[in-house]
Chain A
Amino acid sequence: MKKPVRILAGIAALALALCTAPAFAQETITVFAAASLKNALDDADAAFTKASGVKVTASYAASSALAKQLESGAPADAFISADLKWMDYVADKKLIKPDTRFNLLGNKLVLIAGKDSKLSNVQIGQGFDVAKLAGDGRIAVADVKAVPAGLYAKAALEKLGSWAAAEPKLAQAENVRATLAFVARGETPIGIVYETDAKIEPKVKIVGTFPDDSYPPVTYPVAATTSAKSGTAKYLQFLRGSEAKAVFEKYGFSYLAK
């Protein structure tokens, strides 16, 4: 062969060899998790890896987007949704093992503003004028049609009678962390996110808490998918353990698993 062709053949062979390398890599569990779990689950996964030697790859996005990806055949071993609706959805499509399903965490909905905002101690009750608080800016929420954080926010605003005035002023983001970023960057004066999200972002502050009875309780169900690897059971077992409980409670989640 001529020299350039030989070099090219050498590169191709090397590339092919590198592509087969992952076949010898250690076992990895892939978990699809709601965006709001990012920091807490990263820590919990690190603890699991330390304890068991099994690596965990987490993909964080809106639970609705993850459900859609699972439906399209995405290879995940476990799914943690931010509401029961999307877990029920994938259960209906026979994508998860129903006997592995359990409720892991709870959360609360809060109103946030930029840390330099003049707002503080907002009383959130019936007739709460959220549109006025936004002034000429918008109210950041997650997509109210599908994303759990947006669905909870819409439910709360509807129950409190503030929805009609708020709807035209919404800035809908594709997941709750993007919503958090809107307020942190000052793009919107206020936003509605989970309490745990507000706690990890130093550039925002909580200015009000939505009454518990204004929205369905935030529940994070977990389940193994039907295509889950054998090590997934151990992972789910870990999430039910005291070490994981400590991590989640540190971030402000309420721990529901027994």
Chain B
Amino acid sequence: MPELSPEEWTAVALSLRVAVVATAVSLPFGIAIAWILARKSFPGKALLNAVIYLPLVLPPVVTGYLLLIAFGRRGLFGAWLAEHLGVVFAFRWTGAALACGVMAFPLMVGAIRLSIEAVDLKFEDAAATLGANKGWVFLTITLPLALPGIIAGAVLAFARALGEFGATITFVSNIPGETQTISAAIYTLTQVPGGDAQALRLVVIAVIISLVALIVSEWFGRRAGRRMHGI
């Protein structure tokens, strides 16, 4: 296996870091929103659903641009965040994580919602009659039964975050070490004559990481499924 240059390692490490953080941070929100969409009914539910799925349907560059307007240095929230909380997204890996998280969120919510909807309400009712409050029911019945779907949603979100390009490059551009993920690095290399060999190496790495993520998710999903169904 040909040696990777430090810049390439930086891009790989940064991609993994951004994808992990994006998935980890959005997971609690994903589970919460999925649960609300699956179990609750309220006016405006269709609108909430539409807004959640918007990043999936909009061109990624549009989502990136909206993030820029909202969270850029002079953005609606970005200026306030920078001034009062010291949180800066512009040109930082945190911005890349935000962009990836937003783009991957609909996929996560979709998968988790389906698995929560598949949890038989009778089990939840049974637990309630045995004295469990709503929170306990959620933690001990709904969550474990929905676990294969949650894992699938998380891995899907991770893979999407890993491959995110359009929104990231529009929002936080392409800074080696901070926001130059594998996709951005490959893009930069293909724009420069003579960069094809390096680009190819990164492409191979991206494929390997994605394959590993998918195989691991399949394994975990099956294992969780086996436990739930007592095989």
Q: Which of A127-162 contact B (CB under 8 A)?
A: 137-138, 143, 145-146
CB of A171, distance to nearest CB on chain B (Å): 5
Q: B109 within 8 Å of A by Cβ?
A: no
Residue in B72, B74, B175 whose CB lies within 8 Å of A172 = B175
CB of A69, distance to nearest CB on chain B (Å): 9
Contact yes or no, A64 B192, CB < 8 A: yes
Q: Which of B154-212 contact A (CB under 8 A)?
A: 173-176, 188, 190-193
Contact yes or no, B192 A185, CB < 8 A: no
Q: B105 within 8 Å of A by Cβ?
A: no
A171 / chain B contacts, CB cutoff of 8 Å: 91, 173, 175
| Given contact pairs A171-B173, A172-B175, A185 touches B74 in the complex (Cβ within 8 A) | yes
Which of B90, B173, B176, B193 has the most A CB atoms < 10 Å from its CB? Answer: B193
A137 CA / B88 CA spacing, docked (Å):
11
Contact yes or no, A145 B90, CB < 8 A: no
A62 / chain B contacts, CB cutoff of 8 Å: 191
A171 CA / B193 CA spacing, docked (Å):
21
A170 CA / B91 CA spacing, docked (Å):
10
Contact yes or no, A138 B191, CB < 8 A: no
Q: B17 within 8 Å of A by Cβ?
A: no
A117 CA / B173 CA spacing, docked (Å):
22
Using a Cβ–Cβ cut-off of 8 Å, how many residues does chain A contribute to the interface with B? 23
Instruction: Label chain B's interface by main secondary structure.
Output: loop
Contact yes or no, B191 A174, CB < 8 A: yes
B74 / chain A contacts, CB cutoff of 8 Å: 185-187
A145 CA / B185 CA spacing, docked (Å):
13
A96 CA / B214 CA spacing, docked (Å):
47
A174 CA / B174 CA spacing, docked (Å):
8
A71 CA / B73 CA spacing, docked (Å):
38
Q: Which of A56-96 contact B (CB under 8 A)?
A: 62, 64-65, 67-68, 71, 89
Contact yes or no, B73 A68, CB < 8 A: no
| Given contact pairs A186-B73, A187-B73, A172 touches B191 in the complex (Cβ within 8 A) | no
Closest to A182 in B: B173
Contact yes or no, A71 B188, CB < 8 A: no
A89 CA / B176 CA spacing, docked (Å):
26
Contact yes or no, A172 B174, CB < 8 A: yes
B175 / chain A contacts, CB cutoff of 8 Å: 138, 170-172
Q: Which of B23-70 contact A (CB under 8 A)?
A: 68
A186 CA / B73 CA spacing, docked (Å):
7
Q: Which of A166-208 contact B (CB under 8 A)?
A: 170-174, 178, 182, 185-188
Contact yes or no, A67 B73, CB < 8 A: no
Contact yes or no, B91 A65, CB < 8 A: no
| Given contact pairs A185-B72, A185-B74, A186-B73, A68 touches B192 in the complex (Cβ within 8 A) | yes
Contact yes or no, B91 A146, CB < 8 A: no
Contact yes or no, B173 A173, CB < 8 A: yes
CB of A150, distance to nearest CB on chain B (Å): 11
A245 CA / B141 CA spacing, docked (Å):
77
Contact yes or no, B90 A68, CB < 8 A: no
Closest to B176 in A: A172
Besides A138-B175, A146-B192, A174-B188, 7 new A-B residue pairs in contact (Cβ under 8 A), listed by A number: A64-B191, A67-B193, A68-B190, A68-B191, A68-B192, A171-B173, A185-B74
What are 9 A-B contacts defined by CB distance under 8 Å? A64-B192, A68-B193, A71-B193, A137-B73, A145-B192, A171-B91, A171-B175, A172-B176, A187-B72
Residues of B bordering A, CB below 8 Å? 68, 72-74, 90-91, 173-176, 188, 190-193
